[in-house]
């Protein structure tokens, strides 16, 4: 999987699925019957309350193992993939975003919230940002080695530049190695769980009842970008999607959007001008 350049998160999830089955039965997966494997997956879903997406990762990991490691195609074809449960995507409105901004307790929290919203970057991309990735003259950020080992450029607005400057002043200067440092380890990047915890606490203080995660801000960015007049084809590049059809979560909102070609704008600036 490393040679094929599969994402680190995918490798982790596949290995976890095979490992858990081995621990459950105390024997190798190829020494289990199809009925045992199915019963194990049902147990994972019902007893541990795993989502259909998690179970699907388990199935995909096992199928990869059977297909490419032990070459048991008979087991591959007999294990069904679960139907993925679809959820409505939560999209925040301008007023809710302003409430979230007011509930940030320090400059780092404010920076995290606004970076996610004004650029639409993924959380993993956020935590690996370095000060050298920022071009302050053109207000652009270079996102390196993102999903699919791609490098892309996103732009940001005047409001975010002001927040960045205030953040650097509050911490006593521009960070050297990583923009967002860990709470516990000096010069180490903030963890994925750290960002999730920060956003969760901001949402809790806000009193907003929607199901909100850091990824919600990416969805909100996409929809607000279109609603503010951004181009769908430009949005594809900003989100880092190889194919326009991958942006399915945003296509539902096209009926609300005006789509001129290639317009550059900062949705954070637009929000704070309201």
pLDDT tens per residue across span 17-45:
999 999 999 999 999 999 999 999 998 88
Residues 37, 78: contact at Cβ < 8 Å? no
| Residue 233 resides in a domain | yes
| Residue 261 resides in a domain | yes
Strands (E), 134-183: 134-135, 140-143, 152-155
| Number of domains composing the chain | 2
Q: Single out the residue in 27, 54, 78 at which a domain terminates.
A: 78
Using a 10 angstrom Cβ sphere, with 0-12 exposed, 13-18 middle and 19 or more buried, the burial of residue 168 is middle
User: Same structural domain for residues 101 and 208?
Assistant: yes
Closest CA to 97 of 248, 254, 223, 249: 223
> Which residues lie closer than 8 Å to 222 by C-beta, 6 or more apart?
120, 235, 239, 247, 249, 250, 253
pLDDT per position as a tens digit, 157-209? 999 999 999 999 988 888 888 999 887 777 788 999 999 999 999 999 999 99
| Residue 3 resides in a domain | no
User: Same structural domain for residues 48 and 116?
Assistant: no
User: Same structural domain for residues 168 and 70?
Assistant: no
Residue 38 lies in domain: 8-78
Q: What is the CATH number of the domain that holds 194?
A: 1.10.443.10
User: Same structural domain for residues 62 and 105?
Assistant: no
Q: Single out the residue in 21, 48, 78 at which a domain terminates.
A: 78
User: Same structural domain for residues 98 and 71?
Assistant: no
| Residue 184 resides in a domain | yes
> pTM surpassing 0.85?
no
| Residue 85 resides in a domain | no
- At 129 the pLDDT is 94
User: Same structural domain for residues 116 and 251?
Assistant: yes
Q: The tokens of 190 are what?
A: 């903030």
- At 250 the pLDDT is 47
Using a 10 angstrom Cβ sphere, with 0-12 exposed, 13-18 middle and 19 or more buried, the burial of residue 62 is buried
SS3 for 179-203, per residue?
CCECCCCCCCECCHHHHHHHHHHHH
Residues 236, 112: contact at Cβ < 8 Å? no
User: Same structural domain for residues 230 and 109?
Assistant: yes
User: Same structural domain for residues 60 and 135?
Assistant: no
Q: Single out the residue in 78, 111, 139 at which a domain terminates.
A: 78
């Amino acid at each position: 999987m490393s040679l094929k350049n599969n994402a680190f998160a995918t490798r982790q999830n596949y290995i976890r699925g095979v490992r858990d089955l081995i621990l459950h039965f105390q024997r190798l997966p190829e020494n289990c019957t199809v009925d045992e494997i199915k019963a194990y997956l049902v147990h994972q879903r019902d007893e541990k309350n795993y989502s259909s997406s998690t179970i699907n990762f388990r199935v995909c990991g096992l199928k990869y193992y059977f297909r490419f490691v032990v070459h048991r195609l008979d087991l591959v074809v007999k294990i069904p993939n679960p139907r993925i449960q679809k959820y409505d995507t939560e999209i925040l409105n301008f007023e809710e975003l302003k409430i979230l901004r007011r509930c940030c307790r320090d400059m780092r929290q404010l920076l995290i919230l606004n970076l996610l919203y004004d650029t639409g970057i993924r959380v993993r991309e956020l935590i690996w940002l370095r000060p050298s990735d920022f071009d302050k003259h053109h207000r652009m950020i270079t996102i390196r080695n993102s999903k699919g080992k791609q490098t892309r450029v996103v732009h940001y607005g005047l409001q975010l530049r002001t927040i960045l400057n205030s953040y650097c002043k509050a911490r006593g200067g521009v960070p050297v190695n990583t923009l967002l440092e860990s709470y516990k380890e000096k010069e180490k990047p903030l963890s994925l769980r750290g960002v999730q915890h920060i956003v969760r606490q901001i949402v809790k203080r806000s009193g907003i009842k929607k199901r909100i995660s850091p990824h919600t801000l990416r969805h909100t960015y996409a929809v607000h970008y279109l609603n503010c007049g951004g181009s769908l084809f430009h949005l594809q590049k900003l989100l880092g999607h190889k194919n326009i059809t991958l942006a399915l979560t945003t296509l539902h909102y096209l009926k609300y959007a005006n789509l001129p070609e290639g317009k550059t704008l900062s949705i954070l600036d637009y929000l704070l001008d309201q």
